[in-house]
């Protein structure tokens, strides 16, 4: 019934061990003849180079791609030649490339990624002229993968994504062809190779889809932990500064340059404080030594910078201390401190104010996309800055200034010591303010001071009656008063829908007075001005701070995309021993600006959930938010607690390792039990003969002789005589014969007898 010659043919199939032995015996067999594999490897290298060009805005492809193509053709044509002169030239070329790399390394100590990428591209070009063997092609695959990784670290936009997908599409057939070559399978002709690849396109497409779906799924749920553990940060190439830099001038391209009266843009009215005018379309009017809030208009949105930060935050630019009636000014604009860096380092040390509260180090890297003033955005309390100019300045309001305007492609890094916002501790802060604080941050025009103070005291006195805040808090502290007044302004005053609906202020008209008593609202920045004056009127030091909101977080690049329209002003309040903390009274803004308390661990998953929640009914969204919010909160706290163990000395490290080992063991044990349960469930649904046969295969697998998928049951039974005792092999043969007869011949097996023999065999073993 069965042809025994099939078994003998199976015994003659080549196995990997014999193939490797034959390869060692003949050097010609190790030469790779597959044109398809070589073409795909060349495609991977080209994609890696193109990815670097797109991510870093370089032009390596213009000269590297043609040279790689020439090298690939040369290498294939002379793959069976010794090529000793070529190897010698390649060695010399690699030494020259290495010397050039070290030369660039000394000139670009700030960021060596591009220098490394160029070195790899040069080495690959030299290597492409001598790749006769499969393992040489493997080196090229690795170089292409490294170039793609470098491009991923440099990329700041989604332009990198199409190249990544193309790289994956080329990599899948490349790995398949490379694996076939490793197995020693006979290489078909070029025509047959094309037919094979074409016939497998549906399989490649399915595999490509599965990889993308799994990758995006893992990417979405993967926790995001703080990076930047190394102390070398991205910085642009050095910028030479000509002439003496004092730091007294603020250069805003859209407005008058302070100090020389030269008009730098289309904004009008900035030179005369409080005069009516129109804002510039591209530049925020508040980034100057004076802020004229009697300007009207809107800005045209455009991206101005991209920020990679360990935590979401307010990118602070500058602050104002003196209110002018229609805007603000920096009263000590010329009282600045210049700080120089070492000629061997890009690092400049700053002196943030001391605080008794808990702080956290946050690293931010800023890449400027469009021209900005010479004011350096940074999170609050910067302590170190890596900047391309040899000097920067710090004003009395903790703002950073550059000798030059921030131009396109400028990159710098800031390390800030950001304080935690402890509501309980800030609520207990004293009101014994230092003299220098009272001198500059309690100023208010005497013409409006009584009216503003009276209204503010009435609002606070009516707290219980109005019940604006549903929280059972008393207004017996500076923090709670500031919080309540900010919330009050949000809910009781409005922003005009049309930017020109709010009229210009007259010459003797005060902005705060008009906002509170005449127009019942104003522009967004007007809210912050009013809150600052209300706090000052009751003896709470406050100032106006201007900067950028975090912007739009791109989960694929891990960067915050900041636009010029993200610039706005809010109020900073001073708390003795704790420093300045911001409050945002602008409607539709969060009352407390984003800071280090907001975890970004599961940021991508959170954004995906926000998208899904937009399609669900509100009650369902609320319920799911409570459930998943509690779960994510617990998971985040547990992860943070576990990581904190490793910062608590040897005992903490030992505890963390013990806990991790225990969790891993129980996880492995649970996984094993889960697989066993799935196996038993699967077996229970099989026909009796099929179940017995599969149980036999599982048992032999545990003994070290599993059945290969290419083997038939009878071929497997024949091979078992070579590896098992005769009695054991006999039982395996009988079960296999019965299984084949039942499955393909329709015969009814003697299950009772077979099961008894199987039980006896297992007992004997």
Q: Is 743 contained in some domain?
A: yes
pLDDT (0 to 100) of residue 466: 54
Q: What is the pLDDT of residue 217?
A: 76
Report yes or no on 745 lying in a domain.
Answer: yes
Q: Which CATH number does the domain housing residue 512 bear?
A: 3.10.620.30
Kindly tell me if the per-residue pLDDT of 27 is higher than 70: no
- CA–CA distances in Å: residue 96 to residues 93, 102, 213, 247, 534: 5, 10, 44, 44, 69
The label of the residue with tokens 């399989």 reads 203
- Pull the structure tokens for residue 155: 């990329």
Let me know: does 426 contact 480? Beta carbons within 8 Å. no
Are 586 and 697 part of one and the same domain? Answer: no
pLDDT, tens only, 290-348: 999 989 888 999 999 999 988 889 999 999 999 999 999 999 998 899 999 887 778 89
Q: Which percentage of the chain shows pLDDT scores above 90?
A: 32
Q: Are 758 and 700 in contact (CB under 8 A)?
A: no
Tokens at 739, concatenated: 């299984």
Query: What is the pLDDT averaged over residues 576-584?
Result: 93
Q: Are 540 and 482 contacting, i.e. CB atoms less than 8 angstroms apart?
A: yes
Mean pLDDT of the chain: 82
Asked whether residue 289 carries a pLDDT value surpassing 50, the answer given is: yes
Residue 355 CA: distances (Å) to CA of 258, 350, 384, 419, 743: 33, 15, 17, 8, 80
Q: What is the enclosing helix (H) or strand (E) of 172? A: helix 160-183
Q: Give domain status of residue 282, yes or no.
A: no
Query: How many structural domains are present in the chain?
Result: 3
Show the tokens assigned to 700.
């032999």
Highest mean pLDDT among 29-38, 253-262, 426-435: 426-435
Pick from 372, 370, 385: which is nearest to 287 by CA?
A: 372
User: Rounded CA gap, 263 and 505, in Å?
Assistant: 24
Residues 176 and 71 in one domain: yes
Per residue in 451-484, pLDDT (tens digit) is: 999 999 999 988 765 554 455 556 788 999 999 9
Of 187, 214, 234, the domain-final residue: 187
**Span 206-229, mean pLDDT?**
71
Cβ count within 10 A of residue 43: 18
158 pLDDT band (50/70/90 cuts)?
confident
pLDDT at 762 over 70: yes
* 413 located within any domain: no
265, pLDDT greater than 70: no
> Pairing relation of β-strands 315-320 and 567-575?
unpaired
Q: Is 186 exposed, middle or buried (0-12, 13-18, 19+ CB in 10 A)?
A: exposed
Q: Token pair for residue 587?
A: 């409607």
DSSP states of 34-51: -HHHHHHHHHHHHHHHHH
Instruction: Report the SS3 class of residue 320.
Output: strand
* CA dist list (Å): 418 to 71, 353, 375, 551, 602: 53, 11, 19, 19, 21
Burial (CB < 10 A; 0-12, 13-18, 19+), residue 276, is middle
366 neighbors 550 (Cβ within 8 angstroms): no
Category of 394 on φ-ψ map: left (φ > 0), alpha (ψ -120 to 50) or beta = beta
Does 438 share its domain with 586? yes
d(C-alpha 62, C-alpha 60), whole Å: 6
Token pair 């930017």: residue: 499
601-605 mean pLDDT:
59
Looking at residue 604, its pLDDT comes to 60
Q: pLDDT by residue (tens digit) across 345-398?
A: 788 999 888 888 888 889 999 999 999 999 999 999 999 999 999 999 999 999
Given 158, 187, 216, which residue is the final one in a domain?
187
Q: Determine the pLDDT at residue 341.
A: 86
CB 401 within 8 A of CB 250: yes
Full residue range of the structural domain in which residue 734 is found: 686-764
* Same domain for 585 and 698: no
What does DSSP assign to residue 708? P
Average pLDDT over every residue of 16-40: 60
Task: Look up residue 59 and give its two tokens.
Answer: 């032009």
Domain shared by 587 and 718, yes or no: no
Is the domain of 714 the same as that of 574? Answer: no
Residue that is last in its domain, among 160, 187, 214: 187
Distance of CA 445 to the CA centre of its chain: 47
* pTM, to two decimals: 0.68
Q: Which residues pair with 315 in a beta bridge?
A: 548
Q: Does the pLDDT of residue 258 top 90, yes or no?
A: no
Determine the average pLDDT of the residues in 660-674: 88
The yes-or-no verdict on residue 714 having pLDDT over 70 is: yes
Q: Report the alpha-carbon distance of residue 396 to residue 382 in Å, rounded.
A: 14
Least confidently predicted of 50-64, 213-227, 244-258: 213-227
Percent pLDDT > 70 in the chain is 83
The DSSP result for 219-283, as a single string, is HHHS-------SS----PPP----S---S-----TTSBPTTT--B-SS--SSSSTT--EE--SSS
What confidence category does residue 68 fall into, taking pLDDT thresholds of 50, 70 and 90? very high
Q: Are residues 570 and 465 in the same domain?
A: yes
Looking at the structure, tell me whether residues 713 and 583 fall in a common domain. Answer: no
Six token digits for residue 57: 């805005």
The yes-or-no verdict on residue 264 having pLDDT over 70 is: no
Q: Looking at the domain assignment, is residue 81 inside a domain?
A: yes
Residue 292's pLDDT is what?
92
Place of tokens 């998208």: 611
- Backbone φ, ψ for residue 290 (5° rounding): -130, 145
Phi, psi at 372, each rounded to 5°: -135, 165
Question: Has residue 376 been placed in a domain?
Answer: no
For residue 620, is it within any domain? no
Helices and strands (H, E) in the chain, number of each type: 24, 20
* Per-residue pLDDT tens over the stretch 495-524: 887 766 778 888 888 999 999 998 888 899
Same domain, 593 and 691: no
Separation of alpha carbons 515 and 502, rounded Å: 10
- pLDDT-based confidence at residue 270 (cuts at 50, 70, 90): very low
- Among 314-323, 324-333, 403-412, 604-613, which stretch is predicted with the lowest mean pLDDT? 604-613
Whether 708 and 588 share a structural domain: no
My answer on whether 452 and 569 are in the same domain is yes
The residue-averaged pLDDT of 8-19 equals 39
| Of the ranges 21-30, 36-45, 620-629, the best mean pLDDT one | 36-45
Closest CA to 123 of 148, 149, 95: 95
Same domain as 471, residue 577: yes
Give the span between the Cα atoms of 653 and 665, in whole angstroms. Answer: 18
- Classify residue 670: in a domain, yes or no: no
Dihedral angle sign, alpha carbons of residues 535, 538, 543, 544: positive
pLDDT of residue 222: 65
User: How confident is the model over 165-183, as pLDDT tens digits?
Assistant: 899 889 888 888 888 787 7
Distance CA 130, CA 137 (A): 10
Class of residue 435 by CB neighbours under 10 A (exposed 0-12, middle 13-18, buried 19+) = exposed
């Amino acid at each position: 019934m069965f042809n025994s010659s099939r078994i003998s043919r199976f015994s003659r199939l080549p196995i990997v061990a014999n193939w490797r032995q034959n390869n060692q015996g003949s050097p010609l067999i190790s030469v790779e003849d597959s044109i398809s594999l070589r073409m795909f490897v060349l495609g991977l290298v080209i994609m890696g180079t193109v990815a670097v060009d797109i991510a870093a805005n370089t032009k390596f492809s213009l000269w590297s791609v043609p040279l790689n193509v020439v090298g690939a053709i040369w290498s294939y044509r002379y793959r069976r030649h010794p090529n000793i002169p070529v190897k010698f030239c390649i060695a010399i070329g690699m030494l020259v490339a290495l010397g050039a790399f070290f030369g660039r390394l000394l000139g670009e100590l700030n960021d060596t990624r591009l220098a490394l990428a160029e070195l790899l591209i040069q080495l690959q070009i030299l290597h492409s002229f001598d790749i006769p063997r499969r393992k040489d092609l493997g080196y090229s695959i690795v170089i292409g993968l490294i170039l793609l990784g470098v491009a991923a670290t440099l990329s700041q936009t989604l332009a990198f994504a199409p190249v990544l997908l193309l790289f994956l599409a080329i990599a899948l057939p490349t790995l398949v062809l490379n694996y076939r070559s490793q197995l020693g399978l006979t290489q078909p002709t070029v025509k047959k190779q094309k037919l094979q690849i074409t016939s497998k396109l549906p399989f490649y497409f399915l595999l490509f889809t599965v990889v993308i779906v799994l990758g995006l799924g893992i990417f979405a749920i993967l926790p995001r932990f703080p990076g930047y553990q190394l102390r070398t940060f991205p910085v642009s190439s050095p910028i030479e500064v000509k002439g003496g830099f004092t730091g007294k001038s603020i250069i805003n391209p859209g407005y008058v340059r302070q100090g020389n009266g030269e008009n730098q843009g289309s904004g009008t009215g900035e030179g005369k404080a409080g005069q009516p005018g129109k804002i510039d379309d591209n530049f925020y009017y508040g980034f100057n030594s004076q802020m004229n809030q009697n300007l009207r208009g809107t800005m045209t949105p455009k991206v101005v910078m991209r920020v990679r930060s360990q935590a979401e935050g307010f990118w602070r630019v500058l602050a104002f201390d003196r209110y002018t009636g229609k805007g603000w000014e920096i009263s000590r604009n010329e009282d600045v401190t210049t700080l120089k860096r070492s000629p061997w380092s890009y690092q400049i040390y700053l002196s943030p104010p001391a605080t008794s509260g808990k702080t956290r180090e946050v690293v931010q890297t800023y890449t400027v996309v469009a021209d900005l003033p010479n004011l350096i955005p940074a999170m609050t309390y910067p302590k170190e800055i890596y900047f391309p100019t040899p000097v920067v300045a710090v004003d009395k309001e903790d703002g950073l200034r550059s000798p030059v305007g921030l131009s396109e492609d400028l990159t710098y890094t800031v390390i800030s010591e950001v304080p935690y916002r402890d509501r309980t501790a800030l609520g207990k802060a004293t009101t014994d303010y230092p003299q220098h604080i009272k001198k500059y941050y309690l100023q208010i025009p005497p013409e409006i001071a009584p009216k503003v103070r009276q209204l503010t005291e009435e609002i606070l006195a009516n707290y219980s009656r109005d019940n604006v805040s549903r929280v059972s808090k008393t207004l017996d502290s500076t923090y709670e008063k500031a919080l309540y007044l900010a919330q009050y302004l949000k809910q009781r005053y409005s922003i005009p829908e049309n930017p020109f609906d709010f009229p210009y202020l007259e010459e003797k008209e005060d902005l705060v007075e008009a906002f509170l008593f005449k127009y019942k609202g104003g522009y967004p920045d007007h809210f912050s001005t009013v809150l600052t004056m209300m706090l000052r009127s009751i003896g709470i030091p406050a100032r106006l701070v201007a900067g950028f909101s975090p912007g739009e977080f791109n989960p694929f690049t891990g960067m915050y995309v900041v636009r010029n329209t993200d610039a706005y002003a809010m109020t900073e309040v001073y708390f003795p021993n704790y420093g300045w903390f911001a409050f945002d009274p602008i409607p539709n803004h969060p009352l407390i600006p984003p800071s280090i308390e907001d975890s970004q661990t599961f940021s991508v998953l959170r954004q995906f959930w926000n998208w899904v929640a937009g399609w669900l009914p509100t009650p369902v969204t609320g319920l799911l938010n409570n459930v998943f919010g509690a779960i994510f909160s617990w998971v985040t706290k547990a992860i943070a607690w576990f990581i904190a163990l490793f910062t608590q000395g040897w005992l903490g490290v030992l505890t963390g390792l013990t806990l991790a080992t225990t969790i891993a063991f129980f996880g492995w044990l649970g996984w094993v039990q889960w697989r066993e349960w799935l196996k038993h469930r699967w077996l229970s649904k099989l026909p009796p003969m099929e179940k017995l046969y599969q149980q036999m295969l599982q048992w032999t697998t545990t003994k070290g002789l599993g059945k290969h998928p290419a083997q038939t049951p009878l071929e497997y039974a024949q091979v078992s005589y070579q590896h098992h005792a005769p009695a054991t092999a006999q039982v395996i043969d009988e079960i296999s014969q019965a299984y084949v007869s039942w499955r393909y011949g329709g015969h009814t097996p003697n299950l009772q007898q077979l099961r008894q023999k199987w039980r006896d065999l297992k007992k004997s073993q």
